[in-house]
Amino acid sequence: MPDSGYPWPIETSRLDNGLRVVVSEDRTAPAVAVNLWYDVGSRHEPAGQTGFAHLFEHLMFEGSVNVAKTEHMKLIQGSGGSLNATTNPDRTNYFETVPAEHLELALWLEADRMGGLVPALTQETLDNQREVVKNERRQRYENVPYGDAWLRLLPLLYPPGHPYHHATIGSMADLNAADLATFQAFHRTYYAPNNAVLTVVGDAPAAEVFALADKYFGALPAREDIPPAPDGRSVEATGRPAVQTVTADVPAPRVYVAHRGHPFGSPGYDVLTVLATVLGSGRGSRLYQRLADGERIAQPDLVGAYGVDLAHAPAPLIATATARPGVSAERLTEGLAEVVDELATVPVTAAELDRAKALLSTAWWRQMSTVDGRADTLGRYATQFGDPARAADRLPAWLAVTAEQIAEVAAEVLGAADRVTLTYLPEETA
Amino acid sequence: MTLIADRPGPGAARPYRFPPVVRRAVAGGQVVAAHLPGQNLAVALLLLDAGAGREPNGKEGLGGVLAKALEEGTAQRDATTYALAIEALGTELVTGLDWDSFQVSVQVPVDRLTAAVQLLAEAVRTPRLDPADVQRVRDDEATALRMDWANPGPRADAALRADLFGAQNRWGRPMYGDPGSVAALDVEDVTVFHSEWFLRPGTLIVAGDLDRIDLDALAAAAFAGTGGGPAGRGGPIEVPLRTGRRIILVDRPGSVQSTLRLGHPSPHRSHPDHVPMTLAGTVLGGAFTSRLNHLIREVHGYTYGIRGEFASSRRFGRFAVSSGVQTAVTAPALVEAVGEITRTQAGGVTEDELAVARSWRAGQLSVELQSPRAIASALTTLVVHDLPDDYHAQLRAALLAADVDQVSAAAATHLHPDALSLVIEGDAAVIRDDLTAAALGDLIDHP
């Protein structure tokens, strides 16, 4: 068992304004990854403002005090770099990987939009990006079969008022109602240096990065009273299963079984990560062996199970299967539930455990095989657990999980009384 | 002011290096490897000349069915035992298929690579191919394609391909086949295709820390029991351009977006204009900052994204634009897209745009070629297209040297706005009249 999942140096610093800076030097390739985690996500959105954190992420590419509209992308791509950003319930991250000689440019761009977005924000930009985001919603959630499963699962898993109750993409009505003043206030409230972690990984020495970080970010003012998201750590069990059936234009019946587990980063979530791999990753998994290969009621490419890595509340664990032709949704639901139930009653064998750990080891090292993968990981651990070095603990923690722990956690959180079941039925069979 | 107004210039550029390439003939096959010192993860990929271009007409999807059938048990063990053995090493068997090649690969911590390649070879060279399993896999693949074809895109892609290349040709039909072609395959199609194309040695691609990898042992495992030499691969195919644009309407009732697929034939991969064409395509539609995305997304808000590029294989190529646009703006989005292609063909590119495009394409060769998987993929390009070890360095130099005249000339020569096939998959009842009124070309309903 490796002692560490992160065998590279990590150096950290904190600017006077509270910006945390994390550096992990690696001169293997002449590239450097710059990654900013802002501790704001859709969990911070009040009712009526769903989708705002994500729409805001789009606005961050539309210019700031010293950067003209569309120039951000042009400068990074014109340096040979790759860039993007993502928003989820927990946080918003912005990242670019550039040839190492363009590190300073990347830091300048990030500082300019951290400290100088509001004066550049216009109604025209907001209106344009609102339309882009509405098209993103159509493309990813509305125009594809089963595309709205995640939008349906969240409110079944988390009650109204819970920070994970609504999906990050938001509602069309809220997006239509978004006004400029709200976004200006959003930036002033959350895009402060003391609410962010700057991570730089690759061909750049720590001392140089710290000096550049101070040069570009050092004079940005901290904000003292950043409002926290609602506390979602405890979710009352309802004591009865939640069941939703949707008849839609889908090609075959599909079932999702979902549970609230433990928060990402907790020992319980490590157990659930191994459990999900035993249950639903690969042809050797229980779902594949039982439903796709054994009883042959599920389509082989469409069985699976996974945890969603959310850290601020019991995170979802989701298992899914899609019916083979001629198999009813009832039969499939029964089969899927049975395999999930057996995690508590049929002990995981040594071979199942070894297989899961081997797959997870490869997945971990794959994430670590690029500077951008490493930067995002360090930013996550610094933001969510206060220490980037804790990233090194994850792989050893997975490898230490036992069959007994899996049975215990399964009994604790995968009970039928706490289960969410979402079923899609094709229109013609309804 | 708390912000620094002056944009910093670049520091001293670090020299570009592609990892050292090792080529070796071992045990009847070829090994092409890249050395990644200190990398914990390694990838081995067996490259076979068994791409979709080798499938007979009417047998589209054969490679995909065979790929799945490889894992249904081998001469030595049944399907479940095989799955448990390979996954216990930390990898699944990853298969891939394009027009020119069939690829099977494993990705594992480096100390497990030999064991993983042994299992890879066992599946590729000695699959059981029990008739009942092959039939079941075929039915599952047909179902999987039917599921996939319920999404927007595959039907439009197929309509475009048929219109460009002719459905009477293999390359005018979908690369992975369609639900009907796969359902019609029989067991013998699969076993014959295997014995014809999967028992030749092929090339073993390896990306990892070669100080910890025994290439000879990998090659011995990968090439054991193989025979037969390389087969002729055929030259470039002449594909005629259409005279006059036309719109092909694929009905998707109730669709809240229209899927656009616009295209025309273009040169094959080894055409001497490859680099300037790539850059012209990048300026027009190949990057977020490109003309099409700027106009259709950033100015008009019609879409979440639009891309257009030249793509090529050994024998043929095509220029294609793809996007999903809100139903109500289908016709204006189409008019704007065709207009931008027309302007680029007629007016060429500017130095400002080209500067971004060439730096971006060149920089991507270091930024995106980091992981063993990405390096292995770069090595397959060398092998499939007969390129030298220093190809990536040469490519980088050629990209950086391309000037406005060359790239504008490539746009003028290889873009054909008047020969575009415009495939629109959307709610025909809602968009038909607007499309007709746009007068971009005759409108044909796709059956």
- Sheet of strand A420-426, all strands in order from the earlier edge strand to the far edge: A242-248, A420-426, A254-260, A316-322, A304-307
- How far is residue A154's CA from residue A159's CA, in Å, rounded to a whole number? 9
The answer to whether residues B231 and B411 touch, using CB atoms and an 8 Å cutoff, is no
Is the residue at A35 inside a domain?
A: yes
- How far is residue B96's CA from residue B79's CA, in Å, rounded to a whole number? 20
Is the residue at A130 inside a domain?
A: yes
Report chain B residues whose CB lies below 8 A from the CB of A323: none
Report chain B residues whose CB lies below 8 A from the CB of A250: 150
Size of interface A-B (CB pairs under 8 A): 226
Report chain B residues whose CB lies below 8 A from the CB of A355: 84, 87-88
Of A217, A252, A280, which marks where a domain is finished?
Answer: A217
- How far is residue A394's CA from residue A237's CA, in Å, rounded to a whole number? 28
**In a shared domain, residues A271 and A208:** no
b/e map B297-320, b = 16+ CB within 10 Å: bbebbbbbbbbbbbebbbbbbbbb
Q: Does A193 touch chain B (CB under 8 A)?
A: no
The mean per-residue pLDDT over the stretch A202-214 comes to 97
CATH of the domain at A419: 3.30.830.10
- Identify which of B13, B92, B373 has the shortest CB distance to residue A99: B13
**In a shared domain, residues A60 and A123:** yes
Q: Does B445 touch chain A (CB under 8 A)?
A: no
User: What does the pLDDT read at residue B230?
Assistant: 86
User: What does the pLDDT read at residue A430?
Assistant: 43
Listed as own residue / partner, the contacts of B8-11 with beta carbons closer than 8 Å and 24 or more positions apart are B8/A104, B8/A105, B8/A108, B9/A105, B10/A79, B10/A101, B10/A102, B10/A104, B10/A105, B11/A100, B11/A101, B11/A102, B11/A103, B11/A104
Contacts of residue A427, Cβ cutoff 8 Å, sequence gap at least 6: A247, A248, A249, A250
Strands A304-307 and A316-322, by their bridges, are antiparallel
Is the residue at A15 inside a domain?
A: yes
User: What does the pLDDT read at residue A1?
Assistant: 47
**In a shared domain, residues A284 and A201:** no
Listed by number, the residues of chain B in 21-60 with a beta carbon closer than 8 Å to a beta carbon of chain A are 37-41
Interface touch A138/B257, C-beta < 8 Å = yes
Strands B246-251 and B257-266, by their bridges, are unpaired
Domain count within chain A: 2
- pLDDT tens digits, B188-198: 999 999 999 99
Radius of gyration from C-alpha coordinates of chain A: 23
**In a shared domain, residues A300 and A354:** yes
Is the residue at A19 inside a domain?
A: yes
The answer to whether residues A234 and A57 touch, using CB atoms and an 8 Å cutoff, is no
**In a shared domain, residues A334 and A369:** yes
Please state the φ and ψ torsions of residue B305, each to the nearest 5 degrees.
180, 150
- How far is residue A316's CA from residue A58's CA, in Å, rounded to a whole number? 26
The answer to whether residues A81 and A29 touch, using CB atoms and an 8 Å cutoff, is no
Coil, strand, or helix at residue B444?
Answer: strand
Q: Assess whether pLDDT exceeds 60 at residue A429.
A: no
User: What does the pLDDT read at residue A239?
Assistant: 85
- pLDDT tens digits, A286-316: 999 999 999 999 999 999 999 999 999 999 9
**In a shared domain, residues A88 and A205:** yes
The mean per-residue pLDDT over the stretch B61-88 comes to 97
- pLDDT tens digits, A170-192: 999 999 998 999 999 999 999 99
Q: Assess whether pLDDT exceeds 80 at residue B185.
A: yes
Is the residue at A137 inside a domain?
A: yes
Percent residues over pLDDT 70 in chain B: 100
Q: Assess whether pLDDT exceeds 70 at residue A2.
A: no
Listed by number, the residues of chain B in 326-345 with a beta carbon closer than 8 Å to a beta carbon of chain A are 326
Domain range holding A139?
11-217
Is the residue at A251 inside a domain?
A: yes
Percent residues over pLDDT 90 in chain A: 96
Q: Does A295 touch chain B (CB under 8 A)?
A: no
Q: What is the 8-class DSSP label of residue A142? A: I
The answer to whether residues A42 and A190 touch, using CB atoms and an 8 Å cutoff, is no
**In a shared domain, residues A309 and A350:** yes
The mean per-residue pLDDT over the stretch B163-169 comes to 96
**DSSP sequence for B126-167:** SB---HHHHHHHHHHHHHHHHHHTTSSSHHHHHHHHHHHH-T
**In a shared domain, residues A208 and A264:** no
ipTM of the complex: 0.93
| Structural domains of chain B ordered from first start | 21-223 (3.30.830.10), 246-445 (3.30.830.10)
- pLDDT tens digits, A120-150: 999 999 999 999 999 999 999 999 999 999 9
Is the residue at A274 inside a domain?
A: yes
- How far is residue A191's CA from residue A118's CA, in Å, rounded to a whole number? 10
**DSSP sequence for A253-313:** -EEEEEEE---TTSHHHHHHHHHHHHHHSSTTSHHIIIIIIIS--B-GGG-EEEE----SS
Is the residue at A1 inside a domain?
A: no
Q: Taking the mean position of all CA atoms in its chain, how far away is CA A233?
A: 17
Interface touch B373/A366, C-beta < 8 Å = yes
**In a shared domain, residues A183 and A314:** no
> E strand or H helix at A215, and its extent?
helix A206-217
Using pLDDT thresholds of 50, 70 and 90, give the confidence band for residue A236.
Answer: confident
Report chain B residues whose CB lies below 8 A from the CB of A54: none
User: What does the pLDDT read at residue A428?
Assistant: 75
- Identify which of A82, A299, A358 has the shortest CB distance to residue B89: A358
Using pLDDT thresholds of 50, 70 and 90, give the confidence band for residue B1.
Answer: low
Q: Assess whether pLDDT exceeds 80 at residue A87.
A: yes
Nearest CA-CA distance, residue B234 and chain A, Å:
34
User: What does the pLDDT read at residue A94?
Assistant: 98
User: What does the pLDDT read at residue A6?
Assistant: 96
Q: What is the 8-class DSSP label of residue A65? A: T
Q: Output the 3-class SS for B20-42.
A: CEEEEEECCEEEEEEECCCCCEE
Nearest CA-CA distance, residue B442 and chain A, Å:
27
**In a shared domain, residues A213 and A247:** no
Which residue in chain B is spatially nearest to A5 when comparing CA positions? B40
**In a shared domain, residues A179 and A54:** yes
User: C-alpha distances in angstroms, B3 versus A107, A215, A277?
Assistant: 12, 9, 47
**In a shared domain, residues A115 and A246:** no
Of A217, A251, A283, which marks where a domain is finished?
Answer: A217
User: What does the pLDDT read at residue B2?
Assistant: 87
Q: What is the 8-class DSSP label of residue A417? A: G
Instruction: State the pTM of this model.
Output: 0.95
Weakest mean pLDDT among A12-21, B8-17, B21-30: B8-17
